[in-house]
Amino acid sequence: MDDNLITMDSDDDEIFDSDEDIFDETVDVMNARLSLTKSTRGFRVCHEHSDEEIDQDTDGCSKCSKLWKHKKDMTIQDVVKEQVLCLLPAKALCRCKSVCKEWNQWITRPFLAHLQSYSFRDISGLFCQIPYTIKPFFISLNHSASGVPSPTLSFLPEDVKVCATCNGLLCCKSHVSFDTKYYICNPANKEWMVLPKPELYHGLNSAAVLAFEPTADNVKAHFQLICAVPLIDTPVVYFEIYSSRSNSWRAAKTECWEPDALVLNDDGFFLNGVALWETSHSDQVLAFQLKDEQYGTLPLPQRKGSKGALSAIHGELCYILPHEEENEVTMEIYGGLNMSLKYNIPLSPEACSEVGGKELRALPCVNEDLLTLLVGNKMCVYHVKEGKLEIIRNVYTQDGRFLPYVNSLVPVGQQLVENDEYSGI
């Protein structure tokens, strides 16, 4: 496919800073804690700069006095700044920097990026990798609110394929199979790092899952990368795990000898402490529990076909399968340990008429009352409550990898590669 057919979001570069980092403070400040109000004694504690109690009748901490105000002096704008901004996606949040100098100062602080990374969790769009193309591209579900400054990840030092996403972070893999490199990046702020070389050979059949859980305590955005690595000419799958805390790889203590797990789809994801991969040649899911380093298999619906999608709804594993019969189209939602049918969502008559017998494929992107699917060669969003089918864009093919992405400001700054060779990025 001609790469020229894949277009970028035209307005994203105008919204995000293109030549400088969103963060202008050192990473050490990421150890900050939100200044909390102690209502019992009328004092406030500034955890970012000291553990001293600050009398609210004074100007408070000299370093925070411009950012924090006494309750009685707070306006609606102040409440929005401190309580609402962190709930916005990265693109909308960066737009808010132009509201006033105070908001700009607040939004560019590393602590706000940390706060937003665990406050905003909605799926913002999908990163897509089409066969026979070397560049991925991003499709936003809402161009005015969510986007990235470089939808094709051109800020990385080489062309890559996206192999995993998790809560705003992307794991990318170099195209050169004999010298595998893994990159972890956040396309919203263009921060990235390259991982050390793994001990095992991660060939074309290896599959990766990125594990990143944003929490109030995880201020340094630590993550792990779990790779299922089949050995050549041996019916066994090893698990090799990278940890950002130690900046090193380790081999898991368990090995998988399931014959059906030797070939995995490369669109796995992390859910509730478990790495999940759909197997390519059987109706099963390979599950690897990260804490205990144990594996198991889960069934998939018997009639899953090739147009379903393994996903998560409200924190529970599910399988979404479009079903067309005569002039009616339904989205079947399977779940539970036995993957039984839980919900059957019929598309509205108006949406069915737009589908018009075209080939359907569910995509692993679910928000509240939104389902995403391919209708022919068009990516669409179905609004369940409104019964409306919205065309997002043309993707030219039903084949390819579609990975959900959260438009987060989570930093990769402390591991950011600083190399003169890449200084022009």
pLDDT tens string, the chain, 425 residues long: the values are 433 333 334 444 444 443 333 333 323 323 332 333 333 333 333 434 434 443 443 344 554 545 555 666 677 877 888 888 999 999 999 898 888 888 888 888 888 898 999 899 899 999 998 877 788 999 999 888 899 999 999 999 999 999 999 999 999 998 876 678 999 999 999 999 999 999 998 988 899 999 999 988 888 889 999 999 998 778 899 999 999 999 999 999 999 998 888 888 888 899 999 999 998 877 889 999 999 999 999 988 876 666 889 998 888 999 999 988 877 888 999 998 888 999 899 988 888 888 777 888 999 888 878 899 998 888 999 998 888 889 898 887 778 889 999 999 999 955 433 333 322 22
What pLDDT sits at residue 49?
45
| Residue 366 neighbours by CB under 8 Å, 6+ apart | 123, 311, 312, 313, 320, 372
Do you know the residue count of the chain?
A: 425
- Cβ 190 vs Cβ 151: under 8 Å: no
> Looking at residue 240, what is its pLDDT?
97
Q: What is the largest CA-CA distance in the chain?
A: 73
- 222: which 2 tokens? 């630590």
Laid out side by side, the sheet with 370-375 consists of 360-367, 370-375, 378-383, 388-394
**Domain segments of the chain as ranges:** 3-115, 116-302+401-418, 308-358+360-397
Q: What is the fold, at CATH topology level, of the domain defined by 116-302+401-418?
A: Neuraminidase (2.120.10)
> Global pTM?
0.79
- According to DSSP, the β-strands at 182-186 and 169-174 are antiparallel
pLDDT computed for residue 25 by the predictor: 31
Report the b/e string of 327-340 with b at 16+ CB within 10 A.
eebbbbbbbeeebe
Count of alpha carbons within 13 Å of 321, Cβ hemisphere only?
Answer: 19
Which tokens hold the place of 280? 């390519």
Name residue, tokens 């962190």: 86
- The Cα–Cα gap between 45 and 167 comes to 30
Q: What is the rounded CA–CA span in Å between residue 281 and residue 300?
A: 12
99: which residues sit within 8 A by CB, 6+ positions away? none
Q: How many Å separate Cα 423 from the centre of its chain?
A: 26
Phi-psi region of 210 (alpha: psi -120 to 50; beta: other; left: phi over 0): beta
Q: Is 414 left (phi over 0), alpha (psi -120 to 50) or beta?
A: alpha
Please report, to the nearest 10 degrees, the dihedral formed by the alpha carbons of residues 235, 239, 240, 244 taken in order: 160
- How confident is the model at residue 261, as a pLDDT? 82
**Distance (Å) of CA 313 to CA 208, 268, 271, 371, 391:** 21, 15, 11, 10, 22
- Residue 380 burial (C-beta neighbours within 10 Å; 0-12, 13-18, 19+): buried
- The region, left, alpha or beta by phi > 0 then psi within -120 to 50, assigned to residue 60 is left
Considering Cα of 358, then 364, then 367, then 369, what sign does the dihedral take? positive
- The gap from C-alpha 379 to its chain's centroid, in whole angstroms, comes to 19
